[in-house]
Amino acid sequence: MNIIVRQETEQDYELAEDIVERAFRNEEFSDHTEHILISRLRKSDAFIPELCLVAEIEGHPVGHIMLTRLSIVNDKRTYDSLALAPVSVLPEHQRIGIGGMMIKESIKIAKKLGHKSVIVLGHGNYYPKFGFMPASRWGIKPPFDVPDESFMALELEDYALTGTQGIVVYGEEFLIQQMNEV
Ligand SMILES: CC(C)(COP(=O)(O)OP(=O)(O)OC[C@H]1O[C@@H](n2cnc3c(N)ncnc32)[C@H](O)[C@@H]1OP(=O)(O)O)[C@@H](O)C(=O)NCCC(=O)NCCS
């Protein structure tokens, strides 16, 4: 099976939204608007085209991932970071490693682009395999109440988050979404 992960293009937009909608359709925690979120994020300042990827099997898109800009803010300064969300694989193609491939590729590209860290709100038993750890270990807090193990951060360089304390500030598009999902 030939699986590749590549940057999303405009031609993928409609299909990508369909993948996202179908991936989240039966998820209880979801408010089923993630496909609208990706469309809004693409038009926002948070959008980074190189970090919006699709996974294809034999040329057919089956997965999608998006990393967008966010800030970590305290009373002294603001740090740039990335939000990993959403990540989506069509139900019939889940659990064969496609989600993992997209996460690893996006991390590789984010490093190459010089980003320092990534924040994710998600399953506490999935993201640690990619190096994510509870964000609380650095004093990085979510802007809403979530279980500690679900709010995670990844350093893209050694010690990139040392001394980074503050509250994560998502773009407006994102915040509405995240609050609905908690
Ligand atoms: C989460 C998701 C992107 C993972 O993609 P995938 O291609 O199935 O993932 P991989 O094949 O790389 O990894 C499979 C592992 O993911 C983990 N996993 C997948 N879905 C999970 C879930 N709902 N809860 C917890 N762990 C999950 C498991 O550890 C699984 O390993 P296992 O098969 O040994 O049990 C995919 O399941 C999906 O699109 N889910 C619906 C949307 C969603 O929940 N997105 C994430 C929001 S945080």
Confidence of residue 163 (pLDDT cuts 50, 70, 90): very high
- pLDDT of residue 181 exceeding 70: no
Question: 30-34, 56-60, 143-147, 178-182 — which is least confidently predicted?
Answer: 178-182
Q: Whose CA is nearest to atom 7 of ligand 1?
A: 99
Reading the block at residue 55, the tokens are 């996974």
Binding site membership of 144 for ligand 1 (Cβ less than 6 Å): no
The pLDDT assigned to 152 comes to 98
171 confidence band (pLDDT: 50, 70, 90): confident
For ligand 1, the distance from its centroid to the CA atom of residue 95, given in whole angstroms, is: 6
Measured in Å, residue 169 CA sits from the centre of ligand 1 at 26
Average per-residue pLDDT for the chain: 95
Instruction: Report the atom number in ligand 1 closest to the C-alpha of 121.
Output: 48
Q: CA dist 22 to 25, 92, 156, 167, Å?
A: 5, 10, 31, 32
Q: How many A from CA of 12 to the centre of ligand 1?
A: 22
Domains located in the chain, CATH noted: 3-181 (3.40.630.30)
Residue 61 has, within 13 A of its CA and on its CB side, a CA count of 22
- DSSP, collapsed to helix, strand or coil, labels residue 4 as strand
Residue 175: the pLDDT is 64
Is residue 180 pLDDT above 70, yes or no?
no
For 39-97, write each residue's pLDDT tens digit: 999 999 999 999 999 999 999 999 999 999 999 999 999 999 999 999 999 999 999 99
* Class of residue 57 by CB neighbours under 10 A (exposed 0-12, middle 13-18, buried 19+): middle
- Could you tell me whether strands 78-89 and 117-121 are parallel, antiparallel, or unpaired per DSSP bridges? parallel
Q: What share of the chain in percent tops pLDDT 70? A: 96
Instruction: Choose the residue to mutate in 89, 101, 127 for probing ligand 1, maximizing ligand atoms within 8 Å of C-beta.
Output: 89
